[in-house]
Copies of this chain bind each other. A is one copy, B any other.
Amino acid sequence: MFRISVPFDPPQEFMEQPVSRRERERQTRRLTMLEAARVVIAEKGLKRATLDEIAQRAEFGKGTIYNYFPNGKEEMLFAILDEVYSDLHAITEEAFATAEAIPFRDRLRRYVESFLSYFMRQRDLFVIVMKEANRIAFGDEESKSRYFKSNLDRLVGVLQPAIDDAMASGELKPFPAESVAHMILGNVHGYLRYYCVRGDADAGPGTDMDAESVCAAEFLCAILLDGMADTRTATQIHHGLGGAAEEAS
């Protein structure tokens, strides 16, 4: 896609300092602009967000924004999404790509918790993803929709080996690992959607998001891992469903 090409041959005499003050200031300004874009885009959506408003909120002239993001607000959106996906990738790797012998159940719980927590404390980011990601991912511009597909694949690529392992070791039933990975991501995504759509009075400072994400993770993992059907034999006999539980495998 388009990335602002920061010239990476630092024109300094002393190479010990990685970047000049100039460059650091430039990065700071860039972040200020992204911050403003994030607020405006979350509120209005990419289309109704105007560069004029972003520029005004960032306290820069419109022309200056173009100095930093030659492709305008769309480039800003992708810069924001880049960071989100990079964070999600890190969260996923932290939970699943470690060598330690942690049961899948515990990994999943920790993962879901971090994932939920990440977006719960940055709801505007999730709103942006919800509003724009699908619109672009299902849009007719090949290169843009590939961007989302490849980011999703990256996450699945981290999850899948862990799922395969858990299946190989017998901790999980043998399902298609890729589908399971997508289902896990889909459920986290779905829960966040539910959480945001409720939008209870915008979560006052009293709301404990950590508690909520722990609770939600427990709920999701309970169902995903153990199912919602009550498998106590008595019940199944009572309802004449004795054999039904077997058909999963």
Contacts and interface: CB of A to CB of B under 8 A. Distances in A.
Interface string A160-203: 00000000011111011001101100110111011011000000
B235 A183 contact: no
A171 B132 CA distance: 40
B44 A228 contact: no
A99 interface: no
A218 B246 CA distance: 12
Contacts of A3: none
A208 interface: no
Contact of A194 (B138, B182, B218, B248): B182
Interface residues of A, number: 60
Given A190-B190, A229-B172, A222 B247 contact: yes
Interface stretch (A6-14, A72-80, A237-245): A237-245
Contact of A134 (B130, B225, B247): B130
A180 to B, nearest CB: 6
B226 A231 contact: yes
A108 to B, nearest CB: 9
A135 interface: yes
A227 interface: yes
Contacts of A182: 190, 194
B170 A140 contact: no
A137 interface: yes
Contacts of A226: 227, 229, 231, 245, 248
A109 B14 CA distance: 68
A140 B172 contact: no
B222 A225 contact: no
A195 B134 CA distance: 14
A131 B138 CA distance: 7
B134 A138 contact: no
Interface string A204-240: 0000000000000011101111111111100100110
Q: Give the 9 A-B CB pairs with smallest separation, nearest first.
A: A186-B190, A227-B227, A222-B248, A226-B227, A225-B229, A170-B235, A226-B248, A130-B134, A173-B230
